[in-house]
Chains A and B, each alone.
Chain A
């Protein structure tokens, strides 16, 4: 694939539920190696957009291209192959509670390749080290993990097949600020060393400022895409409220600085 073409190209997405239109002509590109944030109010269709990007939901109109291939017009078997190219973490981790951490992490590998037990163990150890978890965490069960460890395990599982593209849904929700900052650092570090492209849905303004190169805001069934600095200066009332309201002042004060760091 050519370096210039976007990793994700979304064109004129329309999503409807009955009479209610959630997205009406959503278009944006995500470029290789960038961290792309998606924000929006509750009910603005962030989850639906994410599901559309993952190919879990076919949009009512429009196209989604991952690495130049339109996933909205694919057969199920083609789509399965494309799905191996990305990793996903879900908001609450979605770890399989009856499997150990190590079994969770190597599940995508076990399902798609035939490897010896020792190789699988070795790969589980690699992913644990990559997300900064002690190796013996592998023998624990998800119920025994703290919130931060659950998120890291979910990330390790998302990385299991060496994806080029990583989708993170609310990666820092429910973490304390220190754990959230550590998670942000981890994402940035992995992006830098592995050259990943990251798409994250987040409400955490600190995470947005620290990690995201560009931000897409879902308002009025449309999307506004810009650098964080540009978005902060936008005049849309909802965006003003979001970034300059009672809880937005932290980023409002150094929004430019944060965006400059990401750019």
Chain B
């Protein structure tokens, strides 16, 4: 059996002699490799195979290669005994014309300037593709708007349910905890000035204008953006996208648009949940840390929030929803060929959608400042 190997390799370093005995199988490749390496170093003059048995083809190949390397200097090593039976077959393989030499050699590595230019070109191309993607989607949405059947209500509702309703617990808990943490820190900072009451202002404005919607969007980007990219990417790998297109069905219409619309519905609703939980967290903390009774909390809350405070957070939600859904589906459709590509593009989808959400939030902040919203 192959388990108990009888393969032995002996090196006579002085005369450059390699003596192999026994059968050489796949499991013996390691010791064969080591023996051949030291034989090469020691001059490689004589190969003694008198006591050798059967060589499996992989082992015979390594022996043959090593023999050829040793012969390349001009003098072939002397072989004592019979060569492995597979040598004939290996000669045949080596003699067969290898079509390799018709191929062009790989291009030389670029210097830094062309490399920079190339990277820039790729980046512009990526933006251009994204622009085309957005354009196609607007066209599809335009068509779908006119005929309600094309809008695929059932699919939209399903995505709103999966991305919205099922995300309620995690969004609620995160919003509650973050709000408690920020209220706690705020209360501590304000206490020396005797202004703890303004903790309510801090929580109300923070949660309603920024934290509620931003936290929700980031959670959804991680949860749903990745799901969109992976789902559509696997469909791409299975040729399902091509199958849809071959039936004359637009993947934008059946895959992308329902996801975008579903998230545009779900994200504002989730934001309301996050806002509520955030205020609840702030209220509880105010009640038990700075002993603010509920009626006073609500009175302060009423003063703190203006008519636009809630809406300043809320109008951002659909925009974030569109950004997350577009990035996820766009990257999903870009998957080509391999499972590694799928993983890479799913990561890209999450990272980019989070980046876009925060970037858009910054733009909103400046805009609201300018129009005094």
| A interface residues (Cβ-Cβ under 8 A, vs B) | 81, 84-85, 97-98, 109, 112-116, 119, 122-123, 126, 129-130, 134-136, 141-144, 160-162, 193-194
B-to-A contact residues, CB < 8 Å: 2-3, 25-27, 29-30, 33, 37, 56-59, 61-62, 65, 86, 89-90, 93-94, 96, 98-100, 103, 336-340
C-alpha gap A98/B343 in the complex (Å):
10
What separation, in Å, do the CA atoms of A130 and B57 have in the docked complex?
10
Q: Are A116 and B33 in contact (CB under 8 A)?
A: yes
Residues of chain B contacted by A113 (CB below 8 angstroms): 26-27, 29-30
Q: Using known A-B contacts A114-B30, A161-B26, determine if residue A126 contacts B338 with beta carbons closer than 8 Å.
A: no
Dominant secondary structure at the B interface: helix
Are A122 and B62 within 8 A (Cβ)? yes
Contact (A115, B58) CB under 8 Å given A85-B2, A129-B96, A161-B26? no
A-B interface, 9 closest residue pairs, ranked by CB to CB distance from nearest: A143-B337, A98-B340, A97-B338, A162-B56, A126-B61, A129-B93, A161-B26, A134-B99, A193-B89
Among A97, A119, A129, A134, point to the contact of B29 (Cβ < 8 A).
A119
The secondary-structure label for the interface of chain A is helix
Inter-chain CA distance A169–B121, complex, in Å, is: 45
Q: What 7 additional pairs, Cβ within 8 angstroms, besides A109-B58, A115-B30?
A: A97-B337, A113-B26, A122-B61, A126-B58, A143-B337, A160-B58, A162-B58
Contact A98–B338 (Cβ < 8 Å): yes
A126 touches B57 (CB 8 A): yes
A116 CA to B37 CA in the complex, in Å? 10
A98 to B98, Cβ gap below 8 A?
A: no
Which residues on B sit within 8 Å (CB–CB) of A97? 337-340
Identify A123's interface contact among B27, B62, B94, CB under 8 A: B62
Q: State the Cβ distance, B117 to closest chain A Cβ, in Å.
A: 26
Shortest distance from the beta carbon of A223 to any chain B beta carbon, whole Å:
29
A97 to B233, CA, bound (A): 14
Nearest-neighbour CB distance to chain B for A160, whole angstroms, equals 8
